[in-house]
């Protein structure tokens, strides 16, 4: 039946039924929705609990793994510790044994086997008590062990396998179980035979030391008496100061010269005795000794009643028990007369050297002028004779030409000799040009490569130029004679307040300690020339490392040249 055929009542009833059905469906849908929400809530809670449980299981698993790893590590460490302890025990320098309550051996290390002569398997059936030589001494030791539970460094006689008796130093500790019952003991023993021998030797040494000490005391008394005599009668001035410069001791010569007694000068300083200038100089030298901690040799002028005296002072540091420089000892010798003699000798030496230079100049001039002219005349005559004999006597003409060649060589040698005696370039152009010329000639003559460098060289007078030239000449001569060098470097330069001339070679060198001036007049001459000008000549050399000769001259020692016609460069004046 279609809806059009139905009555209104039927349609209303169907509509009501549909509404009830829709309501039931909506109720069912709501129940399904709530069920789904409940399911999702239960599912979420289940997942959360599963996650928590999973995390707990993972943590428990990691903890279990860590416990397993820790146990493995502990077992490994225990094994290592056991091996270590076994190795320590077996390689101990002391004999170690472990016994049970009845004295049967449980452990016996290598050192025990070496000392007693028993290996571990050979001790089967033996008890530790059988190794003791004196039963009564053993009982005393065991009594102490029972009372204290331990015995330390107990000296007792022990028996070896061969029957010999040795003194041993014994330490024993009881072993206890968990209930505190004694189950055995550990014994550590050391052979003290060598110690006994050492003690006997030590006692003998102490007796010997006592005898030596008594003899040393006697020697000290004798030496003290000798030193007191030396201090009393020596002509040198001897004194001791502390690090603050206060006098602690002076000898009788000091008292005599400066009119002050030993007991009056103690705790005084130089500033309370000498003028300020002298005291400053003394203090500076003392401080240098204390700072550098090495001896110092210095000349010290002192004003005395008869004028200024020069003393050669040797100062050296004194040390306390901790090795710290605690003071200065000085020994001063009056060298006034020696200085006067040295000055006179220096003047004489300078005069001799000046005379030598004049004589060299005169000889060089005579060789160049007179002998040179004679040789030139002979050459002209030989040429004339060759021309006259050319047609009549060819052999004679050839001999005459040979004479010309010989005369030419002789002229060259005479000129070279005259130049080496006194190079004209030194007088005409100065030191730098003279050294440059000589070094070139030196390289040609010897075949040694020679380099010359100069910088900031001030104007120097004839005396300084001559001395520097002669020093370089002598140094290069020694290189050619002795060094077997292939190269030489010559340097002339002005540095701040110093003029420096250096000759360095790459030769075989030598040990300067083996050098004696008596064996080298050339070296003595170089040092004398340097000393006359107020300079210093130093030689540094090592075997197979070459040699360096250095001439150092303070700038204030330089003088200006005073020109005179025909002079030899030796005449000079002070500014």
118, 175, 191 from 111: Cα distances, Å: 10, 22, 10
Across 249-274, b (16+ Cβ under 10 Å) vs e yields ebbebbbebeebebeebeeebbeebb
Residue 170: CB atoms within 10 Å: 19
Answer for the pair 328, 289: CB distance below 8 angstroms, yes or no.
yes
Give the C-alpha separation, 513 to 496, whole Å: 31
Q: What is the pLDDT of residue 391?
A: 76
Q: Domain 234-334 adopts which CATH fold?
A: Beta-Lactamase (3.30.450)
Q: What is the pLDDT of residue 453?
A: 92
Q: What is the pLDDT along the chain (575 residues), one digit of tens a residue?
A: 566 666 777 777 877 888 888 888 888 888 888 888 888 888 888 888 888 888 888 888 888 888 888 888 877 777 777 777 777 777 787 888 888 888 888 888 888 888 888 888 888 888 888 888 888 888 888 888 888 888 888 888 888 888 888 888 888 888 888 888 888 888 888 888 888 888 888 888 888 888 888 888 888 777 777 766 666 767 788 888 998 989 888 888 888 777 778 778 888 888 888 888 888 988 999 899 888 888 988 888 887 777 778 888 888 898 888 888 889 998 888 877 776 666 665 555 556 656 666 666 666 566 555 666 666 777 777 777 777 777 777 887 778 778 777 877 777 676 666 666 566 656 667 788 888 888 888 888 888 999 999 888 887 777 788 788 888 888 888 888 888 889 999 999 888 788 899 999 998 888 777 665 444 556 777 787 777 777 888 888 888 888 999 998 888 776 433 333 333 333 332 22
Task: Beginning with the edge strand found earlier in the chain, give each strand of the sheet holding 247-250 in spatial order.
Answer: 247-250, 237-242, 325-334, 307-319, 296-304
Task: Beginning with the edge strand found earlier in the chain, give each strand of the sheet holding 165-176 in spatial order.
Answer: 105-108, 95-100, 182-191, 165-176, 150-159
Helix, strand and coil content of the chain, in percent to the nearest 5, comes to: 60, 20, 20
Q: What is the pLDDT of residue 562?
A: 35
Please give the CATH architecture assigned to the domain spanning 431-575. Answer: 2-Layer Sandwich (3.30)
Q: What is the pLDDT of residue 466?
A: 78
Answer for the pair 172, 156: CB distance below 8 angstroms, yes or no.
no
In order, the DSSP letters of 295-364 are -EEEEEEEEETTEEEEEEEEEEEEE-TTS-EEEEEEEEEE-HHHHHHHHHHHHHHHHHHHHHHHHHHHHH
Q: What is the pLDDT of residue 345?
A: 59
Say which residues have a Cβ less than 8 Å from residue 422's Cβ, sequence separation at least 6: 357, 360, 361, 364, 568
Assign 501 to helix, strand or coil: strand
Please give the CATH architecture assigned to the domain spanning 91-191. Answer: 2-Layer Sandwich (3.30)
Give the C-alpha separation, 405 to 411, whole Å: 10
Answer for the pair 153, 169: CB distance below 8 angstroms, yes or no.
yes
The upper half-sphere exposure of residue 120, i.e. CA atoms within 13 Å in the direction of its Cβ, equals 13
Closest CA to 456 of 537, 562, 555: 555
Going from N- to C-terminal start, the domains of the chain cover 1-88, 91-191, 234-334, 338-422, 431-575
For the chain, how big is the Rg over CA atoms in Å? Answer: 55
Give the C-alpha separation, 258 to 304, whole Å: 8
Q: Largest Cα–Cα distance in the chain?
A: 190
Q: What is the pLDDT of residue 214?
A: 84
Q: Do domains 91-191 and 234-334 have the same CATH topology?
A: yes
């Amino acid at each position: 039946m279609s809806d059009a055929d139905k009555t209104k009542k039927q349609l209303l009833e169907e509509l009501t039924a549909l509404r009830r059905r829709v309501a039931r469906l909506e109720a069912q849908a709501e129940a399904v929705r709530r069920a789904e929400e409940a399911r999702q809530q239960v599912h979420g809670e289940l997942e959360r609990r599963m996650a928590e449980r999973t995390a707990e299981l993972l943590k428990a698993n990691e903890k279990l793994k860590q416990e397993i790893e820790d146990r493995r590590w502990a077992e490994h460490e225990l094994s290592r510790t056991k091996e270590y302890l076994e190795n320590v025990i077996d390689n101990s320098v002391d004999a170690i044994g472990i016994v049970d309550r009845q004295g049967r051996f449980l452990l016996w290390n290598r050192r025990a086997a070496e000392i007693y002569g028993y290996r571990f398997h050979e001790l089967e059936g033996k008890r530790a008590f059988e190794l003791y030589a004196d039963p009564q001494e053993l009982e005393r030791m065991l009594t102490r062990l029972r009372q204290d539970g331990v015995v330390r460094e107990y000296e007792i006689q022990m028996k070896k396998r061969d029957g010999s008796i040795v003194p041993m130093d014994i330490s024993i500790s009881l072993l206890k179980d968990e209930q505190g019952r004694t189950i055995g003991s550990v014994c550590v023993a050391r052979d003290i035979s060598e110690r006994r021998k050492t003690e006997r030797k030590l006692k003998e040494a102490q007796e010997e030391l006592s005898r030596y000490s008594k003899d040393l005391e006697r020697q000290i008394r004798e030496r003290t008496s000798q030193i007191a005599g030396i201090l009393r009668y020596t002509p040198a001035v001897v004194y001791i100061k502390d690090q603050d410069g206060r006098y602690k001791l002076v000898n009788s010569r000091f008292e005599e010269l400066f009119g002050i007694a030993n007991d009056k000068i103690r705790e005084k300083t130089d500033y309370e005795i000498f003028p300020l200038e002298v005291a400053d100089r003394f203090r500076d030298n003392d401080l240098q000794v204390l700072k550098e901690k090495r001896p110092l040799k210095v000349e010290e002028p002192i004003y005395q009643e008869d004028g200024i005296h020069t003393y050669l002072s040797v100062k050296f540091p004194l040390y306390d028990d901790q090795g710290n420089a605690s003071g200065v000892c000085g020994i001063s010798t009056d060298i006034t007369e020696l200085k006067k003699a040295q000055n006179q000798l220096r003047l004489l030496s300078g005069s001799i050297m000046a005379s030598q230079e004049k004589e060299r100049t005169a000889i060089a001039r005579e060789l160049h002028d007179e002998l040179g002219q004679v040789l030139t005349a002979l050459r002209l005559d030989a040429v004339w004779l060759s021309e006259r004999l050319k047609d009549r006597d060819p052999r004679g003409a050839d001999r005459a030409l040979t004479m010309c060649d010989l005369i030419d060589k002789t002229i060259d040698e005479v000129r070279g000799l005259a130049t080496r005696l006194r190079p004209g370039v030194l007088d005409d152009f100065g030191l730098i040009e003279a050294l440059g010329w000589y070094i070139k000639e030196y390289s040609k003559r010897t075949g040694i490569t020679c380099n010359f460098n100069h910088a900031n060289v001030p104007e120097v007078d004839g005396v300084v130029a001559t001395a520097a030239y002669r020093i370089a000449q002598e140094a290069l001569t020694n290189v050619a004679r002795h060094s077997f060098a292939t190269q030489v470097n010559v340097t002339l330069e002005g540095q701040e307040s110093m003029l420096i001339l250096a000759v360095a070679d790459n030769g075989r060198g030598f040990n300067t300690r083996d050098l004696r001036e008596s064996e080298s007049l050339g070296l003595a001459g170089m040092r004398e020339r340097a000393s006359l000008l107020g300079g210093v000549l130093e030689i540094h050399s090592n075997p197979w490392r070459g040699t360096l000769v250095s001439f150092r001259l303070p700038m204030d020692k330089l003088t200006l040249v005073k020109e005179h016609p025909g002079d030899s460069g030796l005449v000079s004046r002070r500014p």
